[in-house]
Chains A and B, each alone.
Chain A
């Protein structure tokens, strides 16, 4: 049971990281907290489903189109809504929150709930690893997740553009004075975050089914990971995902599945009490506003 738990804990951690990475990136680059993150996730899943079932397109094609559409949607949301309220924290939060709400509840109202709403797995196979059955899809999740997260980490830490993004996040005014178009970067960040949410959905949804409530769950989990790991830090997302992922799985195996949420909540409260800005969060406080 022990090794089985470890395997599933690993999978769980990567799932959490995949979910959170989009939200974290958007905020990290442009300071926009996209509370419609969960909605984008579900939106892309439904889009893939509709292309698959209504248009009869093959899964791979549907997924790609859906990811692109979601990315575009993110850009449009920024261009037409967020742009007008840029800089006013109150309005930004409420605008994204309202959009996310409207999208998720619209799907719920239109009745997109049920077991038939699911996406197919890529390859239908199982393996025996360390004494437990692990299906191919979950292995795929780990591979894609690890590659994506690693790629993002390398991108933001070692490439010129990635470092530029981080520079902008740290000091927008200086960035502006260097001629970097802040709005274009912000549009990019929102669409990238949306795209990442779509990728995550494409890989993860086949493990279960699509439901609007899942959108809220994704948002909660992403926020939890970012709070514990520290907003804006890719390393923080990784660390926090593993912490929560392992804690949840071990609680589930050895104590009871009922306690998993308590563990997450306790983790958040402890982090808030001892290091509020998260593991790798930079305790910027007043600095960044000068």
Chain B
């Protein structure tokens, strides 16, 4: 495994008017790690993801990915370099069947070779990818229109869309939110399989128990600042974290 960190974030900050959504956050991420981002609501977790993936421009700081300075790079270009993310608010194309929702990621030039060039068979690839995330092939779930699918499947669709791009860095924004325990339990193996394949993963989560089972490392944010960084057990023992979760309103 490569010794150079995959992702280096230095002094990343974002101000919205007077509000410091993200305040000088720095961390490094090694290849193959599964890093969890936790913190109370409004602590800046999603904003950090937006900053890393390029959907929001930082007020200060920089992001280095694979040794390359990407702070000013357009978001779609970062995807082409191997970053991929899911969105907290899942918004599929409701009137299309699930597998048709996969067409757009598969249209990307990053996976052109995989699909078999410009005229490759995206439909078949889409069905394969969906099966990998748990869309039962026999029940033809992938053919169902997105508007009839329950949240668990929609989240998995979102995951499939991110995986389709063969990312090296996969960022999952609250993947488990809105899911029942059973649904979460069925998705965790998929994430573990991704880890075995060598993917580096960042997960933003509120559901701490499920996250702690799979995360190597956890960073805690509060009011945009990093207040803890380490393995889950130590982090939860830290006073600062306890105060943030229990002490503040």
A touches B (Cβ under 8 A) = yes
Q: Which A residues are in CB contact (< 8 Å) with B50?
A: 290
Q: How far is the CB of A22 from chain B (nearest CB, A)?
A: 26
Task: List B contacts of A287 (CB < 8 A).
Answer: 55-57
Check if B152 is an interface residue, CB within 8 A of chain A. Answer: no
Contact of A286 among B17, B46, B55 (CB under 8 A): B55
B211 to chain A, nearest CB (A): 23
Report Cα–Cα, A286/B47, bound state, in Å.
13
Task: Give the distance to chain B from A156, nearest Cβ to Cβ, in Å.
Answer: 14
Question: Does B75 belong to the interface (CB within 8 Å)?
Answer: yes
Interface set, chain B 1-19, CB cutoff 8 A to A: 17
- CA–CA, A290 and B75, complex, Å: 14
Residues of A within 8 A of B75 (CB): 286
Residues of chain A within 8 A (CB-CB) of B17 are 170
Residue of B nearest to A287 (CB): B56
Residues of chain B lying within 8 A (CB to CB) of residue A286: 55-56, 75
Whole-angstrom CA separation of A226 from B55 in the bound complex: 26
What does DSSP make chain B's interface, helix, strand, loop or mixed? loop
Q: Mark B42-79, 1 if CB is under 8 A from A, else 0.
A: 00001000100001110000000000000000010000
A170 to B17, CA, bound (A): 10
Size range of the chain B interface in the assembly: under 10
Interface readout for A270-290 with B: 1 if CB under 8 Å, 0 if not?
000000000000000011001
- B106 CB, min distance to chain A CBs, angstroms: 23
| Residue interface bits A83-104, CB-to-B below 8 A is 1, else 0 | 0000000000000000000000
Q: What are the interface flags for A49-79 relative to B under an 8 Å C-beta threshold, 1 for contact and 0 otherwise?
A: 0000000000000000000000000000000
A290 to B44, CA, bound (A): 13
- Nearest chain-A residue to B87 (Cβ)? A290
- Residues of chain B lying within 8 A (CB to CB) of residue A290: 46, 50, 55-56
**CA of A112 to CA of B205, assembled, Å:** 65
Residue of B nearest to A283 (CB): B57
Shortest Cβ distance from B75 into A: residue: A286
User: How far is the CB of B151 from the nearest CB of chain A, in Å?
Assistant: 19
Chain A, residue nearest B56 (CB): A287
Alpha-carbon distance between A286 and B87 when the two chains are bound, in angstroms:
14
From residue B30, how far is it (CB to closest CB) to chain A in Å?
A: 28
A286 to B51, CA, bound (A): 12
Nearest CB of B to A162, in Å: 14
CA distance A15 to B108 in the complex (A): 50
User: What are the residues of chain B within 8 A of A170 when measuring CB–CB?
Assistant: 17
Cα A286 to Cα B50 in complex, Å, equals 10
Cα distance, A202 to B25, chains bound together (Å): 55
Q: State the Cβ distance, B159 to closest chain A Cβ, in Å.
A: 20
B199-220 near A? 1/0 per residue, CB < 8 Å? 0000000000000000000000
**Separation in Å of the B57 CB from the closest CB of chain A?**
8
What string of 1s and 0s marks CB contacts (under 8 Å) between A175-218 and chain B?
Answer: 00000000000000000000000000000000000000000000
Which residues on A sit within 8 Å (CB–CB) of B46?
A: 290
A290 to B56 alpha-carbon distance, docked (Å) = 9
Measured CA separation A290–B55 after assembly (Å): 8
CB distance from A45 to the nearest CB of B (A): 39
In angstroms, Cα B171 to Cα A1, docked, is 66
Q: Which residue of A lies closest to B74 (CB)?
A: A286
Smallest CB separation, B224 vs chain A (Å): 16
Cα A170 to Cα B19 in complex, Å, equals 13
Measured in the bound complex, the distance between the Cα atoms of B18 and A170 in whole Å is 13
Contacts of B55 in A (CB 8 A): 286-287, 290
CA distance A286 to B78 in the complex (A): 15
A170 to B56, CA, bound (A): 15
A185, B165: Cα distance in complex, Å: 42
* Residues of the A chain whose Cβ atoms lie less than 8 Å from the Cβ of B57: 287
Q: Which of chain A's residues has its CB closest to B17's CB?
A: A170
CB B70 to nearest CB in A, in angstroms, measures 16
B-contacting residues, A231-290, CB 8 Å: 286-287, 290
In the docked arrangement, what's the CA distance between A290 and B57, Å?
13
Q: How far is the CA of A135 from the CA of B185 in the complex (A)?
A: 79
CA distance A287 to B17 in the complex (A): 13
B17 to chain A, nearest CB (A): 8
Query: Taking the nearest CB of chain A, how far is it from the CB of B94, in angstroms?
Result: 14
Q: A185–B56 Cα gap in the complex (Å)?
A: 28
Question: How far, in whole Å, are A209 and B17 apart by their CA atoms in the complex?
Answer: 45
In the complex the two chains form, what is the Cα distance from A286 to B75 in whole Å?
10
Bound Cα distance from A179 to B213, whole angstroms: 38
B-side residues, CB < 8 A to A, are 17, 46, 50, 55-57, 75
Besides A286-B55, A286-B56, A290-B46, 8 more A-B contacts (Cβ < 8 Å) are A170-B17, A286-B75, A287-B55, A287-B56, A287-B57, A290-B50, A290-B55, A290-B56
11 residue pairs bridging A and B, Cβ less than 8 Å apart: A170-B17, A286-B55, A286-B56, A286-B75, A287-B55, A287-B56, A287-B57, A290-B46, A290-B50, A290-B55, A290-B56
Across chains A and B, which 3 residue pairs bring their CB atoms closest together, nearest first? A286-B55, A287-B56, A290-B50
